[in-house]
Amino acid sequence: MNRTILIVEDNDNNRILMNDLLSYHGYTVLEANNGEEGIVMARNNMPDLVLMDIQMPVMDGFAAAKILKDDPVTRQLRLIALTSFAMHGDRERILSAGFDDYIAKPIHTRGFLMIIKSYLEPGNNIN
């Protein structure tokens, strides 16, 4: 079964790397450059997973996640934060903002794919 992943990331290099990795592993990838675009893409496409940067122009990941989680139509979307925040307490703050998980940047390709697969592959259900 083909799974769709929406990448919401303003950094071109990060977006290209994630797109290449995910496409190579058979996922359909959608892209948005900021939280505002990400909300529109999520509502229009209802992806299986949303990877969302926290620090972006126009609308950051926290604001976008709140809008998606407050909307009954998109509330069930799984959101994974992409962040360079890796300090004590950041994980708790990200999870309490409505994200299901987070991936620290710079991403480590094998660990990144393992997290993605844990959310999308049969037999690897989380929660």
pLDDT in tens, 17-54: 999 999 999 999 999 999 999 999 999 999 999 999 99
> What is the pLDDT at residue 122?
66
Does the predicted TM-score (pTM) go above 0.85?
yes
Q: How confident is the model at residue 84 (pLDDT cuts 50, 70, 90)?
A: confident
Cα–Cα distance between 9 and 87 in angstroms, integer?
21
> What is the pLDDT at residue 81?
95
> What is the pLDDT at residue 92?
87
Distance, first Cα to last Cα, the chain: 21
For residue 27, count other CB atoms closer than 10 A to its CB.
22
Element (H, E) at 30: strand 28-32
Q: Bigger pLDDT: 126 or 6? A: 6
Structural contact between residues 9 and 51, judged by C-beta atoms closer than 8 angstroms:
yes
Domains of the chain by range and CATH? 4-120 (3.40.50.2300)
> What is the pLDDT at residue 54?
92
Distances (CA, A) of 33 to 38, 51, 124, 125: 7, 12, 29, 29
SS (H, E, C) 69-83: HHCCCCCCCCEEEEE
Output helix, strand, coil percentages for the chain, rounded to the nearest 5: 40, 20, 40
Q: Bigger pLDDT: 83 or 37? A: 37
pLDDT at 127 over 50: no
